[in-house]
Amino acid sequence: MTDNRSSAPPQHKPRPLMDLAISILIPSLILMKLSGEQRLGPDGALLLALAFPLGWGLLELVKYRKFNWIALLGLISVLLTGGIGLLQLDSGWLAIKEAAIPGIIGIAVLASTRTRYPLIRTLLYNPKVLNVAMIQQQLERNGQVAHFETRLLRATYWLSGTFFFSSFMNFVLAKWLVKSPAGSEAFNAELGRMTLMSYPMIAIPSMLMMMAIFYFLWRTIHGLTGLRLEDIVATTTQSEPPQQ
């Protein structure tokens, strides 16, 4: 008899340090240190640098068998960066590309407020992050569903704002740092510096904004339902709502 559990994909565990090293640190060092003609050359270094985030993203997708449209946009972003460098397009296209990806996500988040499925439910208010079933039951019991939906809409606007911030900062950073012709050793070095600087200047502030939105959601849920943090956060075994 076959054990069906053996064919199930392994559970994904966040590895932020490894993600940071493979997606940012290693590619940046390759671009800055190996782009000289005496080493890999501009095209060789660019291809090797792009192979790390691209390969890592595809590995995660295949290993955990889970479609993630944000990860897909990341892969598209990597391929576009490679195309700009290898085709030696004007470096201004890099700034447009860097702004376009988070900008598209921000617009999608805003547009989703007009649908039955706001993207904040996918990104933050979802069963993998929060005990949605318990929260919903308590909201209905307390007659606070409409009030919560209003607060969730406000959080959605703030969430889109984090992506627009990222879009603007990406554009500014690319225009400021990347000035050399695409496909040159200097272009690769500038691209490496931009990738490194994007973490403290864009990723960390965006992360803090997301944490602030999550805190707002938690305070809202706690205020409307009376649930404690340990009840709200999703666990592998989610219990029934406490009786009052």
pLDDT tens figures, 156-177? 999 899 999 999 999 999 999 9
Q: How far apart are CA 144 and CA 162, in angstroms?
A: 27
pLDDT at 66: 58
Residue 201 has pLDDT above 90, yes or no: no
Q: What percent of the chain has pLDDT over 70?
A: 82
Residue 244 has pLDDT above 60, yes or no: no
Q: How far apart are CA 65 and CA 96, in angstroms?
A: 31
| Global pTM value | 0.74
pLDDT tens figures, 206-229? 889 989 998 998 899 889 888 888
Give the least confident one: 4-8, 17-21, 182-186.
Answer: 4-8
Instruction: Give the pLDDT band of residue 1 (cuts 50, 70, 90).
Output: very low
Contact in structure between 216 and 158 (CB atoms under 8 Å): yes
Q: What percent of the chain has pLDDT over 90?
A: 11
Contact in structure between 34 and 45 (CB atoms under 8 Å): yes
67: buried, middle or exposed (CB in 10 Å: 19+, 13-18, 0-12)? exposed
Cα dihedral sign for 33, 38, 42, 48? negative
- Rg of the chain (C-alpha set): 21
What is the SS3 assignment for the chain? CCCHHHHCCCCCCCCHHHHHHHHHHHHHHHHHHCCCCCCCHHHHHHHHHHHHHHHHHHHHHHHHCCCCHHHHHHHHHHHHHHHHHHCCCCCHHHHHHHHHHHHHHHHHHHHHHHCCCCCHHHHCCCCCCECHHHHHHHHHHHCCHHHHHHHHHHHHHHHHHHHHHHHHHHHHHHHHHCCCCCCCHHHHHHHHHHHHHHHHHHHHHHHHHHHHHHHHHHHHHHHHHCCCHHHHECCCCCCCCCCC
pLDDT at 125: 80
pLDDT at 15: 64
pLDDT tens figures, 32-60? 777 777 778 878 888 888 888 778 777 77
Residue 240 has pLDDT above 60, yes or no: no
Residue 243 has pLDDT above 50, yes or no: no
Residue 75 has pLDDT above 70, yes or no: no
CB-side neighbour CA atoms (13 Å) of 120: 24
pLDDT at 73: 65
